Amino acid sequence: MGCLGNLLWFVFGGALSGLSWCLAGCLWCITIVGIPIGIQCFKFAGLSFFPFGKEVQYGGGAGSFLLNILWLILSGLPLALEHCVLGAILCITIIGIPFGLQHFKLAKLALMPFGAEVY
């Protein structure tokens, strides 16, 4: 399911989702202070392009918490809303449920990207 799911995902919406993360990364990399946040966005753009077969584990400390608060205010909400809306639309049909669940996984990641590791 991983290879076929990733291929279908990329063709039918994953490319748009990944480009959203890339755009957020480019905007964060404009400033020197935002470069670490932009690099994290580029890491998760790869996950957003091909999410099947990958797992996200959350962790982190005080630094991750502070960056997540800053991220949530400036960039996290639009990305999370995009993933939630697309996930809800895809879950209307039985065939779209696995793709909708991937969008919900990415929505959670869009709310708390710092301290998260992709395996």
Neighbours of 70 (CB within 10 A): 14
What's the pLDDT at 77?
A: 92
How would you write the pLDDT of the chain (119 residues) with one tens digit per residue? 678 888 988 988 889 889 999 999 999 999 898 898 899 899 889 888 998 888 888 887 777 888 888 888 888 999 999 999 999 999 999 989 999 999 998 999 899 888 877 78
What's the pLDDT at 5?
A: 86
pTM for the full model?
0.84
What's the pLDDT at 1?
A: 63
What's the pLDDT at 57?
A: 85
What's the pLDDT at 58?
A: 82
Three-state secondary structure along the chain?
Answer: CHHHHHHHHHHHHHHHHHHHHHHHHHHHCCCCCCHHHHHHHHHHHHHHHCCCCCCEEECCCHHHHHHHHHHHHHHHHHHHHHHHHHHHHHCCCCCCHHHHHHHHHHHHHHHCCCCEEEC
Could you tell me the two tokens for 18?
A: 């990944």
Q: Report the chain's terminal Cα–Cα distance, integer Å.
A: 17
What's the pLDDT at 27?
A: 93
What's the pLDDT at 11?
A: 86
